[in-house]
Amino acid sequence: MALSPIHPGEATADLCDRLGAQARVCQLPLNSYGGLRALAAPIACVQSFEDAGPLRALLQTPGQGRLLVVDGGGSRRVALLGERMARLGLANGWRGAIIDGSVRDVAALAQLDFAVLALGAVPQRAAGTGQGGAQAGIALGGLDVAGGDWALLDADGLVFVR
């Protein structure tokens, strides 16, 4: 794993001030649902539209302290992540998930030491058919992000750094 370009304890605002245009701010209107509200971590990417299978497959692998970034196509019809999948990821060393889509079990997610950012919440779970999968890179909120990039999130927002 590459060394972090983010200083220990650094806030997103300070990172943006320090790096300028190299600090790429996600413009999606994401809400925080997890119990972990601030985090700096390397990312892994997955693309999955209304299908939780690819997320589950990745969360079953060793997370090594990474943050899963999901291109869910912005769907708010079904939840791609809930309590059980968050617990699975946590047990395998993942630090959290950023989802361009929806989650469920928000009261339970808030109790976990797991970062969760998503567009919204909906009680209907997604299918698990396995369409989609791990990607080297995805588009998220007007940004191209790739596995190995670093993410910093806090109450002010979400920033990616290469």
| Residue 105, marked binder | yes
DSSP string over 11-57 = -HHHHHHHHGGGSEE--S--EE-SS---EEEEEEEEE-SSB-HHHHH
Residue 83 annotated as binding? yes
125 labeled part of a ligand binding site: no
Question: 37 a known binding residue?
Answer: no
Separation of alpha carbons 28 and 108, rounded Å: 23
Please enumerate, by residue number, every residue annotated as part of a binding site for Mg(2+). 105
Please enumerate, by residue number, every residue annotated as part of a binding site. 82-85, 104-105
Please enumerate, by residue number, every residue annotated as part of a binding site for substrate. 82-85, 104
